[in-house]
Amino acid sequence: MTAQKVLEKLGKSKLLTIQDYEKVRGDHMGLGQDPRDYSYRDYPDRLKEYLGVDVKIAGSEELNREMGNVEENEAEKVADMWINEAKEVRRGVTRKDVIRAAKLYVAIKELVKRHDADAVTMASWHLTGTWGNPKTNVMPPLAWMELSKEHIPCCCQGLVDCLVTQMVGTCITDGYAGFVGDILNEWLDWDSLLKGASPGEVVIIGHCGAPITPHGDDRIPYTIRDHIINGADWAKLSGAEDTVTATTVDWPSDEVASIVKFDVYKKRVLIFTGTVLDGNSLYKDFPDTSCRNKIVIKIDEPEVYKRFSRNLGEFRESWGNHLVTFYGNLEKEIRDLARLIGFDVVEGDR
C-alpha cells in the first residue's frame, strides 16, 4: 500500500485504549513510572494532526461490566477452540483459566465494536495492580492472539505509540501483525545461556502476548502457558489455585524483519532491519526465560547495531523500552510515509 493510501486509511481510523488514568501515553516513560504523571497532555491532538487517528478511552468498569455479560457457553466455545488449536497446554493451566481469558477476549471485542475502533491496547499492568489495587482478574495475551487472526492491531500496557506503529505496519503490509515487546538485551546475561557460539549483533525483544499471524493470513504454532505475572505478591488477579495465562509462539526463522517505532509526539520514526534467528537453538531454556514470547533479530548493519546498543539506558530514555517487529523489509514504505507526514527517520539512536 502506498504512503498516501496508508495515510488515508489511518485518517479514517480510531484506536481504543483501555485504562483508568486520564492521560494518553506514548512510550517515553521509565519502567514502573506511574502513567498519571505522564506529561504529554496533547498527545491525542498531535496524533490526530499528524496521522489522522482518533483516540477513544474505555475504563476498567466498562471492561468488567462487559466481562460479566459474557455468556459462559460463549467463553467455553472460544476457550476450547484455543485449547484444540494449541500445540500444548502447559502444566498448571486449567480449562477454567483459559475460559477466564476467553471472557476478556469477548469483552474487548465488544468494546472495540462499541467504540468503532480499529485497534486496541489495554493498560494491563496498571489494571492488574502495579500502581494500586487490581482492577481486573486476567491478562490479555490470549485475546491478542485471537485478535491477530482478525487483523486488529493490539498490544499491552496502553502503549499508544506502539499501537500506532502496529496500525501503520499492518496497513503497509495488508495484514501482517506487529509484535510489541521490551528490549531484553541487558535484562539478562544472555551469553551465559548460549548453547554454542554467540550469534553476534542481535536484539532480543519479548512480551507475554504475541500475534500468530506474522505474514497476515498464516497461523504459526503456539503453546498456552503461565504468564510471567504469576506469583507476583502485588497482583492478586484470581484465586490461589488459578493460573494467569499467556502464550509462547514459534517464530519462523531465517526471514527478514523490520524493527520499527513511531514517536508521534516528537515527529520521528525508528527503523532498522535484520534477520530472525531461532532463539530455541541459540539459548538454553529460551521459552521459560523472562518474557514468554521472545524474538531474536540479528541486525543487518553493524554500525546501526552499535548506535542502538552503545547506551541502552539513553535509548530507553529517548524511545521507551518497547519496539515493534514486523516480518519483511518495511524500510522503503516507512521512509515514504515519514516523508509524506514530515517525520524524521532514525536508524539506531542517531
Rounded to 5 degrees, φ, ψ at 168 are -60, -50
The predicted model gives 16-39 an average pLDDT of: 69
Q: Using CB atoms within 10 A of its CB, is residue 349 exposed (0-12), middle (13-18) or buried (19+)?
A: middle
Express each pLDDT in 213-253 by its tens digit. 999 999 999 999 999 888 777 666 666 678 999 999 999 99
- Pick from 161, 163, 111, 164: nearest CA to 136: 111
Task: Provide the pairing of β-strand 256-263 with 268-277.
Answer: antiparallel
Task: Give the number of other Cβ atoms within 10 Å of residue 12's Cβ.
Answer: 10
Residue 346 has pLDDT above 50, yes or no: yes
In residues, how long is the chain?
Answer: 350
Tell me how far apart the alpha carbons of residues 103 and 138 are, in angstroms, rounded to a whole number.
9
Question: Taking the model in full, what pTM does it have?
Answer: 0.95
pLDDT of 89-143, one tens digit each? 998 999 999 999 999 999 999 999 999 999 999 999 888 877 777 888 899 999 9
Instruction: Report the candidate in 37, 43, 31, 40 with the shortest Cα–Cα distance to residue 321.
Output: 31
Sign of the CA dihedral with 318 first, then 323, 328, and 330 last: negative
Mean pLDDT, rounded, for 17-43: 69
Residue 161 clears pLDDT 80, i.e. is over it: yes
For the stretch 165-195, what's the b/e string if a residue is b when 16 or more beta carbons lie within 10 angstroms of its beta carbon? bbbbbbbbbeebbbbbbbbbeeeeebeeeee
Instruction: Please tell me the predicted confidence (pLDDT) of residue 236.
Output: 65
Strand partners, 245: 226
Mean per-residue pLDDT, 138-155: 97
Mean pLDDT of the chain: 92
pLDDT of residue 9: 97
Q: One-letter amino acid identity for 207?
A: H
- Give tens-digit pLDDT for 62-73: 999 999 999 999
**Calpha distance 279→232 (Å, rounded):** 26
The DSSP secondary-structure symbol of 168 reads: H
Does 31 have pLDDT greater than 50? Answer: no
Q: Which of 311, 307, 313 is nearest to 346 (CA)?
A: 307
Domain boundaries, the chain: 3-346
The CA distances from residue 103 to 17, 96, 139, 203, 315, in Å, are: 18, 11, 11, 34, 37
Neighbour tally for 26: CB within 10 Å: 26
The alpha-carbon radius of gyration of the chain (Å, integer) is: 19
- CA–CA separation, 140 vs 93, rounded Å? 15
Q: Which one of 169-183, 239-253, 314-328 scores highest in mean pLDDT?
A: 169-183
Place of cell 519502567: 31
| pLDDT value of position 348 | 77
With a pLDDT cut of 90, the percent of the chain lying above it is 77
For residue 237, the model assigns a pLDDT of: 67
